[in-house]
Amino acid sequence: MVLTTIHALKEWAVAVSALEAGKTIMLLRKGGIHEVGGRFQVAHAQVLLYPTYEHQQPFLLKTEYATSVQPVTSGWHPENINIGSWAEITHILPVSDESIVQRLLPFHIWNQQFISDRLQWKARQPLYVLLLRTFKLPTFHEIPYRSEYGGCKSWIDLAETFSLVNSQPVLSDSTYNHLVAEIHSLVRE
């Protein structure tokens, strides 16, 4: 395991909160507009979770998550970003079949509309199911927003290095492994 990192994965703040609370271990990605070669790729296996607000859409979330989202204007970001967790991306499962993604509905925060939209956008490219083992950092870090953190991209490098030492897993090994096995069985059906 790497003991420090500057690498971060940008994700909706509501999704980061769900990962940190152990409500999900899954993200669904097709990638940002500015991805290298126009395709989603996992740049680093261990990443800080960088919450974003600009593109969060309550109508694309299950009801219990939609109520916690306050839509913001295009280009809005907080002056300071709170970084409280990191994740190890343990599995990357490309999925193109909508019925498989439907079976995964209980394991993530998005609704049917989100799934349909994501599968139709860049329809020739699969939807990537990322399984993340999330860890809480020993202390919350508040970092200033920098212009290079903006834009529609999944991966950024932060200006400061974060120590991952003494981080605590959100879920136990057995709980995490059980969820991974369940998800794998649904993807293979």
Would you list the domain boundaries of the chain? 4-188
Question: For residues 138 and 109, what is the distance between their CA atoms, to the nearest angstrom?
Answer: 26
Would you give the DSSP letter of residue 107? G
What's the whole-model pTM score? 0.92
State CA 87 to chain mean position distance.
Answer: 9
Class of domain 4-188: mainly beta
| Per-residue pLDDT tens listing for the chain (189 residues) | 679 999 999 999 999 999 999 999 999 887 554 555 556 778 789 999 999 998 888 888 899 999 998 888 888 889 999 999 999 999 999 888 888 888 999 999 998 887 877 777 776 778 889 999 999 999 999 999 999 998 878 889 999 999 999 999 999 999 999 999 999 999 986
Question: For residues 168 and 178, what is the distance between their CA atoms, to the nearest angstrom?
Answer: 19
Long-range contact set of residues 2-5: C-beta below 8 Å, sequence gap at least 24: 2/46, 2/164, 3/163, 3/164, 3/165, 4/161, 4/162, 4/163, 4/164, 5/44, 5/46, 5/47, 5/48, 5/86, 5/161, 5/162, 5/164
Q: What is the pLDDT of residue 153?
A: 81
